[in-house]
Amino acid sequence: MEPGRFNAITDVEGVGVGHSTIIRGEGPLRVGEGPVRAGVTAIVPHQGNPYYEKVVAAVDVYNAYGKSVGLPQVMHMGVLETPILLTDTLNTWVVADALIDYMRERYGVEAMSINPVVGETNGGFLNDSWGRHVRRPQVFEALDRARSPGGRGPVEEGNVGGGTPMSGFGFKGGIGTASRETEYFTLGVLVQLNCGRREDLRIDGVPVGRELSEPRPRGVKEGNSIMIVVATDLSLTSRQLWKVAKRAILGVARVGHYGGVGSGDFTIAFTTGKRSVEEMVEGLGSKYPGGSRRLSLNEGYLSLVYRAAVEATEEAVLNALFMAETMMGRDGNTREAIPLDRVREIMEKYGRI
């Protein structure tokens, strides 16, 4: 399947992404002071008011060692009514509180019931997480950027926004994104990658992790979470979107993660609803035995959407890994970027290049 123009979640029309990043200080950890390696990433589902123009949404909880905010209501009501923010674990609630400020001050929502959605992974290896440095100014900055024209173009990946201090497969991780486009729909994925053990890393099936297993990274435990956001323009119901969301973890599994005990592996999916299912069913129908009637009854057309979700998630994870750069954080803790030269050599050795 083919990627969209930006190979990013922003290929889904209307979706905007903005990062706010703080990289400040070095040396030993002093809680409240730093060093700070933190940020927040905002995803807006469209350029209107998300509270008044709610979008159909769904959540898959694969492994719930995680503190994400707002998910039960999304699952139950089947809609998302705020942008989605991604940040560092201990910053989750401050960020959620700032998000409702934004809803009131920028979107003019006075309702006394708002369901902010915030995802998190744990950046404590590099960041002064207890300092909770991501606050109102960063949240507003990320959201303003996501709503600006620039927020709808290419998406910066790696050590940015919520991904700033994160790790992946024993290397530096962070934000990654990818998309798939067909005649009938576009689907984009954005991940905040912070999971995986080095020895499990597989790139396009090649056991890169086994080849790169030395030296063993310090401070890497199994698990440690991945947040996945899936966006599409295909007008699915919440139940259907949930099934799409369930596929994302398979894309992560292909890279070698298996959802360790301490991993928060959540997928939030939403649709802008701009493309109709009817059109897709009719288009595919002629190519399918039984045609559109059978496809529609059994939702057979969804398999293509599932495949897009698996592929885009797999690629988003790899993009996070490839775009992140070596970072030193608190107490001199350092997470190295994956050595791209070595990866290239290994891929050659395994007949891929």
Sites for its own copies among residues 239-268 (CB under 8 A): 239, 243, 246-247, 249-250, 253-254, 258-262, 264, 266
Quick check: is 265 catalytic?
yes
String marking each residue 23-62 x if it binds its own copies according to CB under 8 A = -----------------------------x-x------xx
Q: Contact between 213 and its own copies (CB under 8 A)?
A: no
Q: Contact between 280 and its own copies (CB under 8 A)?
A: no
- Which entry of 20, 225, 235, 292 is annotated as an active-site residue? 225
β-pairing, 186-193 vs 174-181, is antiparallel
To the nearest whole angstrom, how small is the minimum distance from the Cβ of residue 7 to its own copies?
A: 20
Interface segment toward its own copies; rule CB under 8 A; list 39-47, 121-129, 180-188, 269-277: 121-129
Quick check: is 263 catalytic?
yes
Q: Contact between 112 and its own copies (CB under 8 A)?
A: yes
To the nearest whole angstrom, how small is the minimum distance from the Cβ of residue 115 to its own copies?
A: 6
Q: Contact between 63 and its own copies (CB under 8 A)?
A: yes
Quick check: is 97 catalytic?
no
Which residue among 22, 142, 190, 302 contacts its own copies (CB under 8 A)? 302
Which residue among 7, 87, 115, 179 contacts its own copies (CB under 8 A)? 115
Which residue among 25, 50, 78, 151 contacts its own copies (CB under 8 A)? 78
Cβ closest to its own copies, residue 274 vs residue 307: 307
